[in-house]
């Protein structure tokens, strides 16, 4: 005699917490409560700048912008971060793993976000635009730095010479002029640098890498600044016109530097000899007379020069 069939119990569905406004389901009541603030307009407000958030945790993270608190520290290099997720992403740099590769040039990156920013070199995309002058940028951080030019805010001052800067990082790099510290060393030729960006650009002399390529004439460049200047030759976007002599410029920075010639104001003073200059770039070139810095190196004979123009003349010999 066959045994009676055992009734199968139906699989119990997990409890679902449904939003009555938009019918979206959530796995927990707390997640539903957080979501419902979108509909109820319940928000947490920052008492420093008035910015509002739907979650108290988001407000807490935001407030670190004002307090300067960065509680998450990297054990390898000491860099600090406002969020644990930013630290975790940063840690990938030290592991050496570069899982995200560019399908255009093959360059690899530890973080997918770094790859996304890099790909804008190839696409030419610059989604971040300055409302004051129309300059566009590939990264939001570069736009924020640029905006300080218009506000004129320079909150970080050097206690040695009084020169002020818009960013604490720029002040830290500047102070190495006084201390002589050059912590970044080239493994190929032993040359040292005050900041990692200068070392990275220098290393392209050895690798031959020119990541900035012009889509119109296929000419390539070591630096993005050189690429941008070259691109102006093709676009001829002379949108900045001098009110005094009607000279036109493709670059906002070149335009600003030129206008100072008419005003006679030389804002940039050499800390070594009191000589003054219209632009910070002219001052930087001049100060190399005192510091002995020669950042432009010939990749054939390794002879170094204080300015790019001297290097070009050398290469013509």
pLDDT in tens, 1-36: 444 444 444 444 455 788 877 878 878 887 777 777
pLDDT in tens, 183-193: 888 888 888 88
pLDDT in tens, 39-96: 665 678 888 888 888 778 888 888 888 888 889 998 888 888 888 888 888 888 788 7
Structural domains of the chain sorted by starting position, each given as residue range(s) with its CATH number in brackets: 18-94 (3.30.160.60)
Residue 21 CA to residue 103 CA, distance in Å, equals 44
Q: What is the pLDDT of residue 15?
A: 57
Chain-centroid distance, C-alpha 124: 16
Q: What is the pLDDT of residue 55?
A: 78
Q: What is the pLDDT of residue 236?
A: 58
Q: What is the pLDDT of residue 237?
A: 54
Rounded to an integer, the average pLDDT of 257-280 is 81
Whole-model pTM: value is 0.38
pLDDT in tens, 114-146: 899 999 989 889 999 888 888 888 888 888 888
Given the DSSP bridges, would you call strands 240-241 and 220-221 parallel, antiparallel or unpaired? Answer: unpaired
């Amino acid at each position: 005699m066959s045994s009676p069939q055992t009734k199968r119990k139906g699989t119990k569905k997990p409890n679902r917490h449904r939003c009555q406004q938009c019918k979206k389901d959530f796995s927990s009541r707390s997640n539903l409560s957080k979501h419902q603030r979108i509909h109820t307009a319940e928000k947490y407000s920052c008492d420093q700048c008035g910015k509002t958030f739907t979650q108290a945790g988001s407000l807490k993270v935001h407030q670190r912008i004002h307090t300067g608190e960065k509680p998450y520290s990297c054990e390898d290099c000491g860099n600090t971060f406002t969020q644990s997720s930013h630290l975790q992403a940063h840690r990938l740099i030290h592991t050496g793993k570069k899982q995200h590769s560019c399908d255009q040039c093959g360059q690899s990156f530890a973080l997918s976000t770094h790859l996304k920013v890099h790909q804008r070199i190839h696409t030419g995309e610059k989604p971040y635009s300055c409302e004051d002058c129309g300059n566009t940028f590939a990264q939001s951080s570069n736009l924020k730095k640029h905006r300080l030019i218009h506000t004129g805010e320079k909150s970080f001052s050097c206690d040695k010479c009084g020169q002020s800067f818009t960013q604490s990082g720029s002040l830290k790099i500047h102070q190495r002029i006084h201390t002589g510290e050059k912590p970044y060393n080239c493994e190929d030729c032993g040359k040292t640098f005050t900041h990692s960006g200068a070392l990275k650009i220098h290393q392209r002399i050895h690798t031959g890498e020119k990541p900035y390529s012009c889509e119109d004439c296929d000419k390539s460049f070591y630096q993005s600044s050189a690429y941008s200047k070259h691109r102006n030759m093709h676009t001829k976007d002379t949108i900045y016109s001098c009110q005094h002599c009607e000279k036109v410029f493709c670059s906002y920075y070149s335009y600003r530097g030129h206008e100072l010639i008419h005003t006679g104001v030389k804002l940039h003073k050499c800390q070594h000899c009191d000589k003054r200059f219209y632009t910070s770039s002219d001052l930087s070139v001049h100060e190399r007379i005192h510091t002995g810095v020669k950042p432009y190196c010939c990749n054939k004979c390794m002879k170094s020069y204080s300015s790019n123009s001297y290097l070009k003349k050398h290469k013509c010999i």
